[in-house]
Amino acid sequence: MSLENSDLEKSSAHIYNGGKPKSSFRRQILAALIGCTNGFLTGLNIGYTSVGLDSLETQWTSGNAPFQVTNKDIGLFGSSLNLASMVGAVVAGTLSTRYGRKWPNIVLLVPCAVGWLLMVYPSSFYMMLAGQILCGLAQGIRAPIGRVYMGEVAHPEYRGQFLSSIFMLVMAGSLFTYKKRNKNLTVRDR
């Protein structure tokens, strides 16, 4: 089954008006930011995997750690983000079909925030791991949905710029985490 040109024009009529964007450039930037937030959050999570564990190890050797971690724990924490992201990516298609692209991207910021609170203020390693898994699931779902959403709302003239900004924001999120390494993104006592 293939789509006719008229079907394509009808399906994108809410976005384009005679080849020109129906919404202003500012609205397209705002819509792109919804999709791009996942890039920044992914960078934060990638950076925090090493920063959070390094913080725990430093606190543990000085006797100030809120809990102990083993080498197995470190490996589990490091891999849990990627494993949870893979599971989230499998779920993304179903959520996208059922609820659209915009709202899952916005609503899934809540599990990201909860995950970050669990990672920064853990009372045990498993609490920290739960935060990492929550963030991984949310980012795994949001990554493909965000790219599709940006592709749908951006005018073809700007689409490449918007989509390439995701990777730039991954790097920016990772750099931000490393910059804040010794300040306020380390594991804290409750």
* Annotation: CATH topology of 25-63+72-179: Growth Hormone; Chain: A; (1.20.1250)
pLDDT of residue 134: 96
Contact 145, 99 (CB under 8 A): no
Q: How far apart are CA 61 and CA 122, in angstroms?
A: 18
2 three-state secondary structure: coil
Q: pLDDT of 97-117, one tens digit each?
A: 999 988 898 899 899 999 989
Where the chain has pLDDT below 70, the residues are: 1-23, 60-61, 63, 181-190
What residue type is 29 in one-letter code? Answer: I
Which residue, among 39, 6, 12, 50, has the nearest Cα to 147 in the 3D structure? 39
What was the pLDDT predicted at 115?
Answer: 94
Per-residue confidence (pLDDT) for residue 14, from 0 to 100: 47
Contact 85, 41 (CB under 8 A): no
